[in-house]
């Protein structure tokens, strides 16, 4: 659990973070170009949201490491960040897959 709350201290997750940063722009472009194809567009957007959610969580964790020094407050903030990033990612993915904002 500690590896999940401190991804910047885990080499495997940090490697995935750097890979995900290289995929941000290509996935956004792929989302734009697949907007005419419904199923492909949903898949690309879901991958994009998961990538952005993971990237944001690891970035937030790095900021927490730099600026929040008390251990209890840091752990609470990390757990809150994990929950909120997961909740937001789930909500966006659900919105995409069930087409809540249908035209």
For tokens 């697949």, what's the residue?
Answer: 34
* pLDDT tens by residue, 44-92: 999 999 999 999 999 999 999 999 999 999 999 999 999 999 999 999 9
User: What's the rounded Cα separation, in Å, for the pair 78 and 8?
Assistant: 12
Can you give the residue range of the structural domain that contains 24? 11-39+54-97
On whether residue 73 sits in a domain, the answer given is yes
Domain count, the chain: 1
pTM across the whole model: 0.86
- Evaluate if residue 40 carries a pLDDT over 60: yes
Residue 35's φ and ψ, nearest 5 degrees, are -65, -20
């Amino acid at each position: 659990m500690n590896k999940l709350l401190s991804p910047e201290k885990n080499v495997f997750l940090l490697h995935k973070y750097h890979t995900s940063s290289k995929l941000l722009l290509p996935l956004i472009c792929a989302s734009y170009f697949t907007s005419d194809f419904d199923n492909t567009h949903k898949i690309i957007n879901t991958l994009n949201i998961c990538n952005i959610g993971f990237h944001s969580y690891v970035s937030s964790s790095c900021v927490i490491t730099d600026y929040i020094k008390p251990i209890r407050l840091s752990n609470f903030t990390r757990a809150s960040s994990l929950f909120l990033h997961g909740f937001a990612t789930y909500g966006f993915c659900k919105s995409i897959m069930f087409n809540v904002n249908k035209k």
